[in-house]
Amino acid sequence: MRSEESRLARRKLADELYWAIKQDKDLCEEVLDEYTYELSDQRVDELINLLEESYGIDDDEPHFFVK
């Protein structure tokens, strides 16, 4: 279990990354690449199912491009 300090540091990092990603789309691609690389196979399946159910994404073609 993470300490309160650790959780707060991660929350701050998430907020700062969100701000920075809005400024620099290349950073968004880098963060998403690293994030998805680190996911377990189970989590990948969960996120794919979420995208399919929420957005009707059901093929192998990307639906947006980060620029």
**Cβ 47 vs Cβ 54: under 8 Å:** no
* Domains of the chain by residue range: 25-60
More confidently predicted of 67 and 37: 37
**Cβ 57 vs Cβ 51: under 8 Å:** yes
Give me the pLDDT at residue 66, please. 46
pLDDT digits (tens, 9 = 90+) for 20-41: 999 998 999 999 999 999 999 9
pLDDT digits (tens, 9 = 90+) for 46-57: 998 888 888 786
**Residue where the block lists tokens 């994404």:** 57
Residue 66 tokens read as 């980060």
Give the integer Cα–Cα distance in Å for 62 and 64. Answer: 6
Give me the pLDDT at residue 61, please. 65
